[in-house]
Structure 1
Amino acid sequence: MAVPLALALGSTLASRTGGTVRDWLRAIFRRIRTILTPGESLIEQSVTGGIWLTLLNITGRAFQILTVVFLARLLDPRAFGIVGSAMLVITGLRRVSKLGLNDALIYNESENVDPYLNTVWVLNGSRGILLGGTLFVAAPGIAWFFSEPNIEPILRVMAIGPAILGLRNPSIVYFKKDLNFHKQFVYDVSGDAAYFFVALAYAMFDPTVWALAFGYVARNLVRTGFSFVLSGYRPWPSIDVARAAEMIDYGKWITASNVLNYVSNQGDDIFVSWLLGSSALGFYQLAYRLSNAPATELAHVVSQVSFPAYSKVQDDPETVRSAFYRTIRLSMFLVAPMAIGIALVTEPFVTGVLGEQWLPMVVPMQLLAMYGLLRGYLASFGSVWRATGNQDYLVKVQLLTIVLIAIPIYPAAVRYGISGVAMVIVAVYAFVMTPVDMYFAVEAIDGSFQRLAKEFAYPLPAAGVMGLVGLWIQRVITIAPLLEFVLLVVVGIVTYAVAVLAIESQIEWGIVDEIRELTSFI
Structure 2
Amino acid sequence: MAEKENKKTIKQEVINSSLWGFLDKGSNIITSFLLGIVLARLLPPSDFGLIGLAMIIVGFGQIFVKLGMGPALIQKQDITERHVRVVFTTSITAGILLSIIVFASAPVTALIFDNYKVIPIVKALSIIFVISGLQIPSSALLIKKLDFRHLFYISLVESILYGFVSITLALLGFGVWSLVIGNIFRRVVSLIGSYWYVRHSLKPLFAKKEFHDLIHFGTGETLSGIFSYFALKGDYFVIGKLLGESALGLYTKAYNLMQAPTTQFVSVLTNVLFPTAAKLQADEKRLQRVFLRSMSSISFFALPLCTLLVLVAPELIYGLYGENWQGAIIPLQILGGFGIFRAMYNASASFLRAKGLVFQIFWAQVLYGIIVVVAVWFASTAFGLTGAAWAVGFAIFAMWCFMMELNIRSIRLSRLDIAYTLKPGVILAFVLFFSIQGLRMSLIFMGYSAFPLIKLGLFLLVGLFSVLITVLFLPQKWFNFVLVDLLEIVEKRVSSKFILYLQNIINFIK
Say yes or no: TM over 0.5. Answer: yes
User: Which of the numbers 458, 461, 466 marks the counterpart of 1:487?
Assistant: 458
Which whole-Å CA distance do the structure 2 matches of 1:349 and 1:261 have between them?
30
Q: Superposed, which structure 2 residues align to 1:153-168 within 5 Å?
A: 153-168=120-135
Residues 211 and 316 of structure 1: CA distance in aligned 2, closer, same or farther (over 3 Å): same
Q: Which amino acid aligns with 1:352?
A: G
- After superposition, give the CA deviation of every residue in 1:150-184 in whole Å (9 maximum; x if it has no partner): 11111111112222222237233221111111111
Which whole-Å CA distance do the structure 1 matches of 2:434 and 2:384 have between them?
29
- The offset of 1:248, in angstroms, is 1.0
Does residue 394 of structure 1 match 2:361?
Answer: yes
Alignment check: 8 A CA contact 2:424 2:479 kept: no
Does residue 176 of structure 1 match 2:143?
Answer: yes
% identical aligned pairs: 25
- The offset of 1:389, in angstroms, is 2.2
Alignment check: 8 A CA contact 2:61 2:129 kept: no
Which whole-Å CA distance do the structure 1 matches of 2:492 and 2:360 have between them?
34
Q: Superposed, which structure 2 residues align to 1:40-55 within 5 Å?
A: 41-55=9-23
Does residue 442 of structure 1 match 2:413?
Answer: no
- The offset of 1:518, in angstroms, is 4.3
Q: Superposed, which structure 2 residues align to 1:74-473 within 5 Å?
A: 74-110=42-78, 112-168=79-135, 170-430=137-397, 432-473=398-439
Which whole-Å CA distance do the structure 1 matches of 2:324 and 2:202 have between them?
49
Runs of 4+ in 1 over 6 A off after TM superposition: none
Which whole-Å CA distance do the structure 2 matches of 1:52 and 1:216 have between them?
24
Name the stretch that deviates more: 476-485 or 287-296: 476-485
Q: Secondary structure at the match of 2:200?
A: coil
Residues 104 and 510 of structure 1: CA distance in aligned 2, closer, same or farther (over 3 Å): closer
Alignment check: 8 A CA contact 2:88 2:202 kept: yes
Name the stretch that deviates more: 358-367 or 206-215: 206-215
Alignment check: 8 A CA contact 1:191 1:219 kept: yes
Alignment check: 8 A CA contact 1:188 1:223 kept: yes
- The offset of 1:144, in angstroms, is 2.2
Which whole-Å CA distance do the structure 2 matches of 1:40 and 1:168 have between them?
32
- After superposition, give the CA deviation of every residue in 1:42-67 in whole Å (9 maximum; x if it has no partner): 11111111111111111222221122
Which whole-Å CA distance do the structure 2 matches of 1:360 and 1:45 have between them?
44
Name the stretch that deviates more: 462-471 or 331-340: 462-471
Q: Secondary structure at the match of 1:292?
A: helix
Which whole-Å CA distance do the structure 2 matches of 1:449 and 1:508 have between them?
20
- The offset of 1:402, in angstroms, is 2.1
Q: Secondary structure at the match of 1:150?
A: helix
Q: Secondary structure at the match of 2:382?
A: helix
Which whole-Å CA distance do the structure 1 matches of 2:50 and 2:368 have between them?
26
Which whole-Å CA distance do the structure 1 matches of 2:481 and 2:201 have between them?
47
Q: Which amino acid aligns with 1:367?
A: I
- The offset of 1:133, in angstroms, is 1.0
Q: Which amino acid aligns with 1:100?
A: G
Q: Which amino acid aligns with 1:497?
A: L
Which whole-Å CA distance do the structure 2 matches of 1:170 and 1:505 have between them?
44
Structure 1 gaps, min length 5: 1-38
- The offset of 1:519, in angstroms, is 4.1
Q: Which amino acid aligns with 1:327?
A: S
TM score, norm. by length of structure 2: 0.90
- The offset of 1:40, in angstroms, is 7.1
Which whole-Å CA distance do the structure 1 matches of 2:356 and 2:118 have between them?
41
RMSD, matched Cα = 1.9
- After superposition, give the CA deviation of every residue in 1:169-206 in whole Å (9 maximum; x if it has no partner): 72332211111111111223332223211111110111
User: Which of the numbers 71, 82, 85 marks the counterpart of 2:39?
Assistant: 71
1:56 is matched with: 24
Which whole-Å CA distance do the structure 2 matches of 1:393 and 1:504 have between them?
39
Which whole-Å CA distance do the structure 2 matches of 1:243 and 1:40 have between them?
32
- After superposition, give the CA deviation of every residue in 1:390-437 in whole Å (9 maximum; x if it has no partner): 22221121112123333332231122211111101112333x332222
Residues 187 and 506 of structure 1: CA distance in aligned 2, closer, same or farther (over 3 Å): closer
Q: Secondary structure at the match of 2:175?
A: coil
Q: Which amino acid aligns with 2:28?
A: G
- The offset of 1:264, in angstroms, is 1.1
Which whole-Å CA distance do the structure 2 matches of 1:87 and 1:333 have between them?
33
1:29 is matched with: none
Residues 172 and 246 of structure 1: CA distance in aligned 2, closer, same or farther (over 3 Å): same
- After superposition, give the CA deviation of every residue in 1:437-473 in whole Å (9 maximum; x if it has no partner): 2211111111121111111133212211211211122
- After superposition, give the CA deviation of every residue in 1:102-148 in whole Å (9 maximum; x if it has no partner): 111111112x5322111111111111111211121111111122122
- After superposition, give the CA deviation of every residue in 1:317-375 in whole Å (9 maximum; x if it has no partner): 11111111111111111101100001111111111110100000000011111221111
TM score, norm. by length of structure 1: 0.88
Alignment check: 8 A CA contact 2:19 2:489 kept: no
Q: Which amino acid aligns with 2:275?
A: P
- After superposition, give the CA deviation of every residue in 1:184-240 in whole Å (9 maximum; x if it has no partner): 112233322232111111101114111000001101111112222222434212222
